[in-house]
Amino acid sequence: MSAAVVQAPTMASAPSLAPATVAGPVSQARVVRAEWTKLRGLRSTWWCGLSAVVLIVGLGAAIAEGGAPYKVTAANTAAMGISDSLLGLLFAQLMLGVVGVLAFSGEYGTGMIRATLAVVPSRLPVLWAKLIVLACLVLPVTLLCAVADFFTAAALESARGGSVLLLTEPGVLRTVVGSSLYLTVVVIIALALGGLLRKTAAGLAVFTAVFFVVPIVVGALPHSIQRFAAYLPSNAGGALWGNPLSTGSLLSPWTGFAVLCGYAVVLTAAAAWRLRRHDA
Amino acid sequence: MIEIDGLTKRYGDKAAVDDLSFVVEPGVVTGFLGPNGAGKSTTMRLIAGLDRPTSGRVRVNGKFYPGAAAPMAELGILLDARSVHPGLSARNNLLALARTAGIGRRRVDEVIELAGLAEVAGTRAGGFSLGMGQRLGVAAALLGQPRTVVLDEPVNGLDPDGVRWIRLLLKSLADEGRTVFVSSHLMSEMAQTATRLVVLGRGKLITEASVEDFTNHAAAGGGVLVRTPETVRLGQVLAAPGVTVVNDGTDVIRVSGTTAEQIGAAAWQAHLPVYELTPTHASLEEAFMQVTRDSIEYHAGATR
């Protein structure tokens, strides 16, 4: 079909007018749509997302169903009961970490980054777009999961003769919403690691070490060092949703979350610097 | 139009591109030739702003490309290495690029059709053959109907049908007034497609010429094969300034610097029998090997 067009004489005279084009200017909103097209088109996104949903809600139900019925006392608040049921979050965090790291490192690994940056040569809009798309996907989805987890756990506990857990009790709403905020910031950290390290293996190794290994290892270190454990990303962010596995003294919920956000800001800035300064 | 001015790119202390200056004009196909490792791909990455030059500058359509408001209207590029996501379908790969410039699905389907990928548009690109991957890359380069098209080894891995498709495509793009810059190691392919040539060796510009000039230069470097039992006497008869005679077989001599007609006439006048008289044109390939070999020798000498 193209042959008909090109049987033209070989001696071409260059028209003085610029040839026609369909391409418009690049904008942040357009790059966001582009990144959404990529994320949506990848199977890994759907598998990891689905696993995260199943793990948060399913594991929450299993935890509420297991053990003794939860009784609210001065030492065991309603919020702590919900935190227990949100333990599936730790799995979800791994799944979303994979999605976050891959969103950037996957492009470097496959070479697609060259195509991406060739059409967005100013580069930074790509990072912002990935960040916006991931946050806008993870925040509502995990919020729905956390709410579903809350109602499932509350229903199961009261059915088993445990205390009635209400959203209005102190710290419960914060725990539910906080778990979703926590995962959203974690996925941004994972994204920044992927952009900073550019290699999937390196990004996932660092992510896993920071969120799963270091918090355990720190517990075995001298007390002088353990004091800093509260500032680890998982512990700082865990303060907001009451991670039952956090060890040692914790920061206050919102201070902890602010520290977690601090990590995200610093890592994102570093990823932006590398994206901007280094050859693709 | 692509203007390259004093462009240098160093990786460590090795210069991949060394003080390169040339201009690629719109309306014609310009071939970019050079042996492997000459710096062709690096130059193309520098044009697209993927790598930053150590010094010098590149202008695409008169502008600094990374600052372009509508990049896809300015430049479409196919890089040598695969630059598609294997986990995304061909259509989604293209759509993701198209979205950045507000290009819709209709245009995406159009280039899919143009590249002959309609049947596999929904298939994940990871399963594509090299040829299909190339077609997808070319489709991506054409998406925005850019004023300048840069293709790194587009015929790599393509079947004869695909090669023909590329050849016609490049010509039609040039005929539309676009700037077309295409690298290849297949000189014969360039001879049929390109109007101008930029030849690169070891990161340096070796020559910038029209294909015609380059081929004439190549023809001059050819010669005439003469089979005669009187190789020595014929050599004496032909001896003249600028004429070289090489005896490269028992009864065959290679004569350069004169024509087959003159040799035939001279042999007849001297009553020397000639059994065969064959003008040989050094191919573009050979001319290319010759100029690049010179540059390599020059470099080896310069660095001692």
Q: Which residues in chain A belong to E strands, given as ranges?
A: none
Chain mean pLDDT for chain B: 88
Distance from CA of B276 to the nearest CA of A (A): 36
Chain A residues with beta carbon closer than 8 angstroms to that of B48: 114, 118, 121
Chain A residues with beta carbon closer than 8 angstroms to that of B178: 19
Cross-chain CB nearest to B100 (options A6, A26, A279): A26
Q: Residue A12: what pLDDT?
A: 41
Neighbours of B228 (CB within 10 A): 20
How far apart CA B210 and CA B188 sit, in angstroms, is 14
pLDDT band at A24 (very low <50, low <70, confident <90, very high): very high
| B198 token code pair | 């930029």
Of B201, B226, B207, the residue nearest B279 (C-alpha):
B226
The three-state secondary structure class of B230 is coil
Average pLDDT over residues B205-219: 79
pLDDT digits (tens, 9 = 90+) for B61-119: 999 999 999 999 999 999 866 789 999 999 999 999 999 999 999 999 999 999 999 99
Q: At residue B57, what are phi and psi to the nearest 5 degrees?
A: -150, 160
Which of A258-262, B117-121, B222-226 is predicted least confidently?
B222-226
Question: Chain A residue with minimal CA distance to B178?
Answer: A19
Q: Which of A37, A39, A105, A274 to mutate to test the interface with B (most CBs of B within 10 A)?
A: A37
Q: Hey, are the CB atoms on A280 and B51 less than 8 Å from each other?
A: yes
Q: Hey, are the CB atoms on A34 and B100 less than 8 Å from each other?
A: yes
pLDDT band at B249 (very low <50, low <70, confident <90, very high): low
Chain mean pLDDT for chain A: 89
DSSP class of residue B89 equals: B
pLDDT digits (tens, 9 = 90+) for A137-147: 999 999 999 99
ipTM score here? 0.86
pLDDT digits (tens, 9 = 90+) for B159-183: 999 999 999 999 999 999 999 999 9
Are B213 and B193 in contact, with CB atoms under 8 Å apart? Answer: no
Q: Which of A17, A98, A119, A276 to mutate to test the interface with B (most CBs of B within 10 A)?
A: A119
Chain A residues with beta carbon closer than 8 angstroms to that of B25: 14
- Distances A111 to A108, B212, B218 between C-alpha atoms, Å: 5, 37, 38
Distance from CA of A37 to the nearest CA of B (A): 6
Question: Chain B residue with minimal CA distance to A280?
Answer: B50
Neighbours of B162 (CB within 10 A): 20
Neighbours of A6 (CB within 10 A): 16
Q: Hey, are the CB atoms on B83 and A115 less than 8 Å from each other?
A: yes
Cross-chain CB nearest to B92 (options A21, A41, A107): A41
Q: Hey, are the CB atoms on A122 and B67 less than 8 Å from each other?
A: yes
Would you say residue A7 has pLDDT above 50? no
